[in-house]
Amino acid sequence: MITSIILNVIGGLGIFLYGMDNMSIGMRKLVGPKLKKLLAVLTTNRVMSVLIGIFITALVQSSSASTVMTVGFVNASLLTLKQGLGIILGANIGTTLTGWILVLKVGDYGLPLIGISAIFFIILGKEKHKTIALTIMSFGFIFFGLNLMSNGLKPIKDLPEFTRLFQLFKADSYFGVLKACLVGAMVTGVVQSSAATIGITIALANQGLIDYPTSVALVLGENVGTTVTALLASLNTNSNAKRAALAHTLINVFGVLWVTTLFRPYLYILEKIMDPSLHIDRFIATSHTIFNIFNVLLLTPFIGPFSKFLLLIVKDKKEDKERVTKLNALMIKVPPVVVSQTKLEVLEMGNRIKEVFLALENIFNKGENIDKSLKLIEDAELSLDLYEKEISDINFCILSRELSMDMVDETRGNLITTDEYETISDYLDRIAQELNKLTEEDLELSEGNVNVLLTLNSMVSQFFNDIYSAFDKKNIQAFVSTIKQYDDIKFVYREAKTEHFSMEHGNIPSKLSTGYIDILHYYRRASDHIYNIIEHFAQI
């Protein structure tokens, strides 16, 4: 009997967790593109932050996912700490919707729901429709798994050994309440899913293995245990992200401390709202919701002072500003956000390259602060190397996940453009280095050579600007229309090279001649890599 109980509970828990994970993934795929727009709505208005936290968590059905995502956004400076705190508070309310889903009496229909949605998943053609079918199928897994756990636990009440075990953490005293909270926190910390432990709590209560005060105490602890996910995720983040993750834990610990201190009055209020003897599962869901609403109402007015407190206990570190992009691994949970943020980072790379073209023009014209222009080009090249690495690291990670074909294409386009931009910056940096080398050796290009190079700099710069604009607007026709510019650049390159070798170079130092030809070649190579971007997007 014990073996049967263990196998049924483990099997049910596994199916339940699989359903929760897939439902969360499905919901994120469906609503992910809207999350960035929601973030744009955020202001310092704490109420708006809380409401968006509720909405996002209710959509993705995972407070762990939305909190980790929030920590990632704070880490990337897409959100301020105050905004992040508001979303975390809202996430605590949004996650209570899961408890109400679990109390739906549809456990027996879980298997048919899986079967019907699986058939639709196979026969439907559009990717969005398949995602919807998969999400509905995941609901079926949740209900089927919960049903397996509940049925598997039925025989336990006839086993005195298990009955005595559950009595060890009965919430019949203050310390008993704390013990039950601790058990709930530890189990949730291990499983890393408060939905799973709430499901187990409901199953135990339905079978009469625990009374309603104990179930309420377990749920309180489960609210603390679910914060482990964000804490673990924040280990390799900056100080602000660590503050956000710690805030999630402190918020829930504070809530548990004040509720356990007033546990009997709290139970009395719950009993007035819902009779536990009639619907113990609904009572548990109610306790989960009321706890989080009360806690958020208490703490929302103090978001400002709370953020200042977090600044005191988690100090800033020097390495916090090492990243050049606003991308980080915590965003991987929401690929659409990674894709949209990546595009912004690629556009920023383009802006740095535009500055390099202007700096080169200043050097050719022997304008002011040439040393400053050389330093700008050197810094830009180093910076763009970092951009390329950070963008590639996270985008290759999301390519290994389930993405729509449109998102896969956009990600590949972003990666190709990033790689080409980084290579273009390398060639522009070589031009600057070559010019600097000639200056250090007191070698000066002729006025004619300088004019040719200025012409090429202008043509390649304009070519790049047009490609930048086409990428920004996703305009295929704009990509195609720039091909003539590429042909013109090749023509100027060939003419300049032919003219140079056809002239009499009697008194021209070989280093000067070689330097000039090298710079011509670098502009040609830069234009080749701009053309590679056209080839990808225009499918030439």
The terminus-to-terminus CA distance of the chain in angstroms comes to 67
pLDDT at 165 over 70: no
Question: Is 108 in the same domain as 141?
Answer: yes
295: in domain: yes
Q: Which of 374, 393, 501 is nearest to 434 (CA)?
A: 374
Say if residues 465 and 358 touch (Cβ distance below 8 Å): no
The reply to whether 324 falls in a domain is no
What per-residue confidence (pLDDT) applies to 6?
77
> Would you give the DSSP letter of residue 317?
-
Please tell me whether residues 297 and 430 are part of one structural domain.
Answer: no
Does a structural domain hold residue 323? no
Q: What is the pLDDT of residue 95?
A: 84
Residues 147 and 198: beta-carbon distance below 8 Å: no
Average pLDDT over all residues of the chain = 84
Domain boundary residue, one of 260, 288, 318: 318
Q: Judge whether residue 40 has pLDDT over 60.
A: no
Among residues 202, 189, 21, 211, which one has the least CA distance to residue 101?
202
State whether 395 and 509 are in the same domain.
Answer: yes
Helix/strand/coil for 287: helix
pLDDT exceeds cutoff 80 at 9: no
- CA gap 156, 179 in Å, rounded: 21
Place of tokens 């336990």: 156
48 and 167 in a single domain? The answer is yes
Average pLDDT for residues 171-192, to the nearest whole number?
85
Residue 73 confidence class, pLDDT cut points 50, 70, 90: confident
| Of 407, 303, 293, 393, residue with least CA distance to 345 | 393
pLDDT tier at 124 (50, 70, 90 boundaries)?
A: confident
Final residue in a domain of this structure, among 298, 318, 338: 318
Distance from C-alpha of 282 to C-alpha of 276, rounded to nearest angstrom: 8
Please tell me the total count of domains within the chain: 2
Count of residues in the chain:
540
DSSP summary character for residue 161 = H
Position 162 in a domain: yes
Cα-only R_g, the chain: 31
Residues in CB range of 507: below 8 A, 6 or more apart: none
* CATH code for the domain of 392: 1.20.58.220
34 — pLDDT class (breaks 50, 70, 90): low
Tokens of 111: 């298997």
Q: What is the pLDDT of residue 283?
A: 92
Same domain (yes/no): 482, 365: yes
Q: Indicate whether 433 and 494 sit together in one domain.
A: yes
**310 and 412 share a domain?**
no
484: closest CA among 469, 497, 471, 466?
A: 466
- pLDDT > 70? residue 237: yes
pLDDT in tens, 488-520: 999 999 999 888 777 655 456 678 888 899 999
**What does the pLDDT average to over 86-102?**
84
Percent of all residues in the chain with a pLDDT value above 90, rounded to a whole number? 37
Q: Is the pLDDT of residue 52 over 60?
A: yes
- pLDDT tens per residue, range 331-349: 787 788 888 889 999 999 9
Q: How far apart are CA 493 and CA 526, in angstroms?
A: 12
Helix locations, 365-446, DSSP H: 370-399, 405-440
- The whole-number pLDDT of residue 250 equals 93
Please say which residue of 255, 287, 318 terminates a domain: 318
Distance between CA atoms of residues 361 and 460, nearest Å: 12
Cα–Cα distance, 49 to 51 (Å, whole number): 6
- Tell whether 206 and 285 lie within a shared domain: yes
Amino acid found at 518: D
Taking the C-alpha atoms of residue 173 and residue 153, their distance in angstroms, rounded to an integer, is: 26
pLDDT band at residue 37 under the 50/70/90 scheme: low
pLDDT at residue 320 is higher than 60: no
pLDDT at 443 over 60: yes
- Helix or strand holding residue 129 (H, E): helix 127-153
pLDDT at residue 203, as a whole number? 80
SS3 of 443, please?
Answer: coil
* Rounded Cα gap, residues 137 and 142, in angstroms: 9
Could you identify the residue written with the tokens 């002729």? 446
Domain span at residue 439 reads 329-538
Nearest to 169 by CA among 215, 127, 125: 215
When mean pLDDT is compared across 110-114, 164-168, 369-373, 429-433, the lowest value belongs to 164-168
pLDDT tens string 250-287? 999 999 999 999 999 999 999 989 888 888 888 999 99
Taking the CA atoms of residue 82, residue 83, residue 87 and residue 89 in that order, the dihedral angle to the nearest 10 degrees is 20
Residue in the structure block whose two tokens are 């023009």: 361
Task: Please check whether residues 281 and 146 belong to one and the same domain.
Answer: yes
- Compare 321 and 184 and report the one with higher pLDDT: 184
pLDDT number for residue 51: 84
Residue 61 phi, psi dihedral angles, 5° rounding = 55, 45
Quick one: 46 and 165 in the same domain?
A: yes
Phi-psi category of 369—alpha, beta or left, where left has phi over 0 and alpha has psi -120 to 50? left
303 and 377 in a common domain: no
Q: Is 539 helix (H, G, I), strand (E, B) or coil?
A: coil
> Of 85-99, 370-384, 455-469, which range is least confident?
85-99
Dist CA 488 CA 279 (whole Å): 78
Q: Give the integer Cα–Cα distance in Å for 439 and 443.
A: 6
Res 384 pLDDT > 80: yes
- Report angle CA 267, 269, 274 to the nearest 5 degrees: 90
